[in-house]
Amino acid sequence: MFEYLYLVKFLIIQSAGIIVAVIVGGFFVFWALYRLNLPKTILSIFLMLLGVYLFLFAPKVLSTRLEYPFSLKTFGPANGPAIPLKNILAFFKNVGRMEKVADIARDPNDIPAPIVRKEPTKVKIEITAKEVVSEMSPGVVMPYWTFDGKIPGPFLRVKEGDTVELTLNNDPSSVNPHSIDLHAVNGPGGGAIVTGVLPGESKTLTFKALNPGLYVYHCAHPDPAVHMAHGMYGLILVEPKEGLPKVDKEFYVMQGEFYTADDMGDQGLQVFDAKKMLEGHPEYVVFNGRTKGAAGNMNAKVGDKIRIYFGNGGVNLVSSFHLIGEIFDKVYPDASISSEPHKNVQTTIVPAGGATVAEVEFEVPGNYILVDHALARMDRGAWGTIKVDGPENKEIFDGVIDTSGNSGH
Ligand SMILES: [Cu+2]
């Protein structure tokens, strides 16, 4: 599936095009001026102005297309948000060793089973930070940074009171250092200050899971926003001592933003645009790392109790989480599972770096669409589907389904 020539297209064709255009343009100007037989002073002034024009404007054209804006700075504590030029060169050096992931989206069903044991214990977890190449949509090739090669990272499940020994490896093919900050941790940096790993390194963090809840974890290596805008986030569930109420199915979905120099839908290898990230103008807003990342794998039956673990990796936007055609029977706002849930909720706010736990039971079969109800983002990719099978229920929902394509669904 990989059109690897895009790398060549990106580096050679675009730069060669500019060089050819400048040379041919120069010859054309010389030729035109000689034909007009203008005096040497006018010719000199013209060339001087042309030189000034190129000096002022050519770098702007080149900087957005041929390199990360490495000169871009912030006033945050980290060195960001630009990616150093040496890392761009290292990317092209390492890309042959990087894994080409056929599908970057983590399956929403990829969740460990509920914990049955009653007593807290010691849990060992190993995660690998890995930079990979995959597709945002067919032909749109992205350098992704991940936990375990998928977006979001693995769904971690522990119990209140557990002692967690978490080892973070950084794959040797990586270019960048990485770390992990888990919002479930009580301690500086959420663990990030002890898990900073260079490519090929491993480090271990031990923490006690004191507070039950559903928490975001993410890479926090400077600049954290850049790492999250490449896909480095996931969820950790700290189950309460008594466990969560039993449901028939659980799903795992995370929203995230991607900032590319090219416009949405442009094909080829995509370059990260730090300026768009600072301004909060993503080209893609998606569920589980790519367009259609949460479409097609979630199935349920009428009458099933469904629980959705939904998180927002950000890095800028707040999600207005909504399920078209249903009402959440229960929502634990801000994923506060030790509080009483809200009942009968249409849309629930999930802040950047936050999560929610929503439960729903379907009465009527059909396709139900998960969205961020800031619906322009659906056009940027933020949607998923739950397919519900079962007997019709005409008392609750009846009518002739519009198949003209004008209904939108
Ligand atoms: Cu990272």
Angle at the Cα of 256 from the Cα atoms of 3 and 88, rounded to 5 degrees: 50
Scanning the structure block, which residue is given the tokens 């801000």? 334
Phi-psi map region of 218: left, alpha, beta (phi>0 left; psi -120 to 50 alpha): beta
- Whether the ω angle into residue 245 lies within 30 degrees of 0, i.e. cis, is no
Q: Is 333 strand, coil or helix?
A: helix
How many angstroms separate the alpha carbon of residue 219 from the centre of ligand 1? 5
pLDDT for 369 equals 97
Distance between Cα 379 and ligand 1 center (Å): 28
Q: Which DSSP state fits 178? A: B
Q: How far apart are CA 112 and CA 54, in angstroms?
A: 58
DSSP three-state, residue 308? strand
4 Cα–ligand 1 center, Å? 24
Say if residue 223 is preceded by a cis peptide, omega within 30 of 0.
Answer: yes
- Alpha helices, DSSP H, located in 67-110: 85-94
- What are the two backbone dihedrals, phi and then psi, of residue 106, each rounded to the nearest 5 degrees? -75, 135
DSSP string, 141-173: EEEEEEETTBBS-PPEEEETT-EEEEEEEE-TT
- Lowest-confidence range among 8-22, 44-58, 272-286? 8-22
Structure tokens at 181: 């900050």
| DSSP labels, 2-71 | --THHHHIIIIIHHHHHHHHHHHHHHHHHHHHHHHT--HHHHHHHHHHHHHHHHHHHHHHHHHHHS--TT
CA of 134 to the centre of ligand 1 (A): 17
In this structure, is the dihedral angle defined by the CA atoms of residues 81, 84, 88 and 93, taken in order, positive or negative?
Answer: negative
Calculate how far, in angstroms, residue 103's C-alpha sits from the geometric centre of ligand 1: 20
Residue 31 pLDDT class (50, 70, 90 cuts): confident
- Ligand 1: centre distance to CA 129 (Å): 7
Contact criterion met (CB below 8 Å) for 159 and 238: yes
* Cα 106 to ligand 1 centroid, rounded to whole Å: 18
**pLDDT for 176 beyond 70:** yes
Distance 221 CA to ligand 1 centre (A): 6
pLDDT tens column, 348-368 = 999 999 999 999 999 999 999
Is the per-residue pLDDT at 406 higher than 80? no
Alpha-carbon gap, residue 13 to 273, rounded angstroms = 20
3-state secondary structure of 103: coil
Query: Over 80: is that where the pLDDT of 59 sits?
Result: no
Position 1 pLDDT exceeds 50: no
- Quickly list DSSP for 209-238: --S-EEEEEE--SSSHHHHHTTT-EEEEEE
Instruction: Kindly report the average pLDDT of the chain as a whole number.
Output: 90
Task: Give the global pTM.
Answer: 0.85
Per-residue confidence (pLDDT) for residue 104, from 0 to 100: 97
Structural contact between residues 361 and 329, judged by C-beta atoms closer than 8 angstroms: yes
| pLDDT, average across residues 363-385 | 96
Assess contact for 326 and 368: CB atoms under 8 A.
yes
pLDDT level of residue 89 (50, 70, 90 thresholds): confident
Q: For residue 55, is pLDDT > 80?
A: no
Distance 68 CA to ligand 1 centre (A): 17
* Spacing, Cα 233 to ligand 1 middle (Å): 9
What DSSP line would sit under 350-364, residue for residue? Answer: E-TTEEEEEEEE-SS
Q: Using CA atoms, how far apart are residues 38 and 203, in angstroms rounded to an integer?
A: 71
The phi-psi region of residue 81 (left if phi > 0; otherwise alpha if psi is between -120 and 50; otherwise beta) is alpha
Of the chain, the end-to-end C-alpha distance in Å amounts to: 29
Q: Are 24 and 287 in contact (CB under 8 A)?
A: no
What is the pairing mode between strands 294-301 and 383-389?
parallel
Percent residues over pLDDT 70 in the chain: 92
pLDDT at 409 over 60: no
Q: What are phi and psi of 56, to 5 degrees?
A: -80, -40
- Cβ-based neighbours of 272, under 8 Å, separated by 6 or more: 68, 83, 143, 226, 229, 230, 259, 260, 261
202 alpha carbon – ligand 1 mean position (Å): 14
- Decide if pLDDT at 63 tops 70: no
Residue 224 CA to ligand 1 center (angstroms) comes to: 7
